[in-house]
Structures are given as C-alpha cells and as structure tokens.
Chains A and B, each alone.
Chain A
Amino acid sequence: MKLNHLDRLEAESIDIFREAVAESERPALLYSIGKDSSVLVHLARKAFYPSTPPFPLVHVDTTWKFREMIEFRDSTASELGMELIVHKNPDCIAQGINPFDHGSAVHTDMWKTQGLRQVLDKHRFDAVFGGARRDEEASRAKERVFSFRSAQHRWDPKNQRPELWRLYNTRTAPGESVRVFPLSNWTELDIWHYIHRENIPIVPLYFAKERPVVDREGTLIMVDDDRMPLEDGEVPENKMVRFRTLGCYPLTGAVESTATTLPEIVAEMRAATTSERQGRVIDRDQSGSMERKKQEGYF
C-alpha cells in the first residue's frame, strides 16, 4: 500500500500550495493559460477544496496571444469562480509594441517582464505561483520551490535560500516576494499523464487541426488574425498543425501533426527529438538567455 507516482507529485504540490497560502498575505497565481497552468489551477482547487482557491488568477496579457487562449482563460475563470486579473502594460499599448516592428526581445521584455512587474507591484503580491518545472531548462533546474525575489523582482542565483526538507523559508520583507513553483518536480510526461488521468481541460491549440500557417525560416507561424503582416506573395497555407507550447502567436512555432487526442500527443512526444521549449523563439537567441531574463524579473 503506497501512493503511486502521480499521487505523490499531486500531494507534494498541494503541500506547497497550502504552505505558501498559510504563510503569505497576498498570494496570486500567474496564469499563462498553457497546459502547465491548467494543471496548476487544478492542483490549487484540490489543495483548498471545498474552499475556492483563496487567490486570484493573474494574466499578463500581451494582446498577441492566440484568440483561443483568451477564450479559454475567460471561461476557465468564470467556471471556477476565481477572480481574474488581466494586465496589459499601458506603456506598450501607448507605444504600440509588437513583435514585428520591435523584435521578439523588446516585445517580450516590455509586455511580459515589465508588465509582470507592474501588476505585481500594483497589487503588492507577496507570493506568486508559477508553473515552471525543473526539467524545462538548465537554469530552471537550479531554482528553488520557493524562489526569493528582491523588491526589484530580481533573482539572484548565487544567493538563493537553502531549501531543506519540507521546511520552506517563506519570509519576506515589505516589497519583497517569493515565486512559488508547485510543479518543480514534475516532468513534461507527468503533466500529460496527469491531464489524462484527471481529465483536465486544456486549450484546443494543443491538438492538431487544420490551421492557416506561414513558413518563416523553418518555423511555422499561425496567422491568427489580420495584424500578421504577410510578405510579398506569401499566402497562408492550411496545414494540420498543433502547438507544444503556447505564447504570443507570432512567436510560437507550430509543429505538423495529426495528434488529435492525448494518447496521440504523448505518443508523438515520445517519438519527438526536440524538447518542448524549442518552439519558443525567445529561448534560442543565445544559450543562457533564460537566466538573464529571469535575473531581470521574467517568470
């Protein structure tokens, strides 16, 4: 008689949620609408049931997310009865920041990193849940479950608090905060298994469907709305594609696929030879770029 693998992961994540909520004053869940966020929200519900999770969902909206993501976000929040805080960086709106004219680096920094800092400052959240996993990327592997941030939202990898046993040091001075990662010990495969076992809704973009895409230097970009500038003679082509990771549609590469069910996705993942973040344009600029972004306050 013992807990199975997914039960253990679930129990540990619930434990982390409860610890963070019990020891913080203004917790929030950073909701990115992706599959990991779906799992995160599901675990939050389990952690506090029969109470509704005692914190809002926060979405840092870049206005360039897939439309299906926004629909999914709004319906999820209303079905669960959780407060949804959507923040769009007003400076970006004023300056019309977009990935085409300003490049992915400026776009991401202004909308996401700066936007996140604005919304965290505005609401003075002192514990913010995120869906990061240690298996995602090298610098993530070194992150604590409770990851301390200075009042300037900076992460100092050389000065992390030691994290012993299950005794999380959650204490912060005014202005400081902790990012809390309940999925730290999950792998991508665990996430898919759990979504399957628990029947957790995810954005339909993860499943293959005919979608209009253009080929940009080997990356398939979906033309999600008419803001996408087409090059001369470029015509969107309908292809069976799906997404392994979700973000701003102009920065998120699709993969050609016929996987329309979870088992097919997992089967495809098993056979895949590229890791999931590979579809993200921002990670590839330079190795080590994620660490730099995190030090500057990126989640």
Chain B
Amino acid sequence: MLLKVWYVDDEFDLCEVFSDFFSSAEVEVKTFVSHLAALQEAKINPPDLLFLDYRLKGATGDWVAQQMDPAIPKYLVTGEASPPCKYPYLKVIYKPYRRQDLDEIIQQYLDLKQKAQKNAS
C-alpha cells in the first residue's frame, strides 16, 4: 500500500531533495516543477498528501492549493518569512526545514492510510 505524496516546487534541486528524503517502499513521492502539471494530474489521480512551495513560476502555492480538491491534506513549504495565505493549510513549514519535521507528517499519514486499509480489509 503506497502513500502518494506530492511536492510542488519550481526549483528542481528542492524537488530532488524532497524525493531523496521521503521516497520509500511505502511512500511514493512525486514532484512537480510545474504547478500546472500538478493541477492537471490531480484531477485524474490526486495525491494523498500535498506539499506546496509558496513561490512558484507564474503563481503562488496558495493559489494552487485553492484549485485542488479540498479533501487533499495540504502543507505549505516556503522560504518566505511571512507569506500572505488564504488557504487553511494544515501547517506551514519554513525552509530550510529539517527532514524529521516532514518525516513525522508523512509517517502520520502513512499510518492513517495503513490503518484505513486494514479496517477496510
């Protein structure tokens, strides 16, 4: 059972770091440097958990969050000191973040998903 975690950031290196950190047998990490691609795919195959960078090329993460299904849990990841946000994120994570900060969140959702699947079966 895989947890689908997406990370949207216009910086490729940060996408790579995210992927390196959190990809595992249980977690399927998918990164997007284009928020438009993310929005497109989300319509077909939405993620279980979404991490959005605030400052994207041509848009803000906040705007992207508002376009996505509200059911998707969303976390904002930003280098800004105090980004103006409208969307009620579950948490705002500031760059540079510690791996364990996100580990805990991902692990929490992984546990929840595993628990749900177990209940279903």
Q: Specify whether A and B are partners.
A: no
Using a CB–CB cutoff of 8 Å, the interface residues on chain B facing chain A are none
